[in-house]
Homo-oligomer: A and B are copies of this chain.
Amino acid sequence: MKVSIRLRPSVLDPAGEAIKSAANKLGVDGINSLRIGKLIEINLNGVEEKDIERKIELLCDRLFANKVIEDYEYSFKKIDE
């Protein structure tokens, strides 16, 4: 399962801005926007299919993202053993 966590568009991203200006100095122009987020990759085992979404939402809400400043999005795939 993959969870992408992004800063909300209204939230400033100073680290992203720093990398953006470093990129300009490296000679890479034309960067309109650059935002840094988090990527959480999880390997879940033995969770029933009907429970998966509920559990993922719980994890995202309570542990992964700060909903005041971040949005999240997830995707998962089943791996047969």
Contacts and interface: CB of A to CB of B under 8 A. Distances in A.
Interface residues of A, number: 34
B40 A34 contact: yes
Interface string A40-80: 11111111000000010011001110000000000000000
A23 interface: yes
A59 B6 contact: no
B34 A36 contact: no
Contact of A40 (B28, B36, B40, B58): B36
B44 A35 contact: no
A31 B42 contact: yes
7 contacts: A16-B40, A28-B55, A30-B46, A31-B42, A33-B43, A35-B40, A35-B41
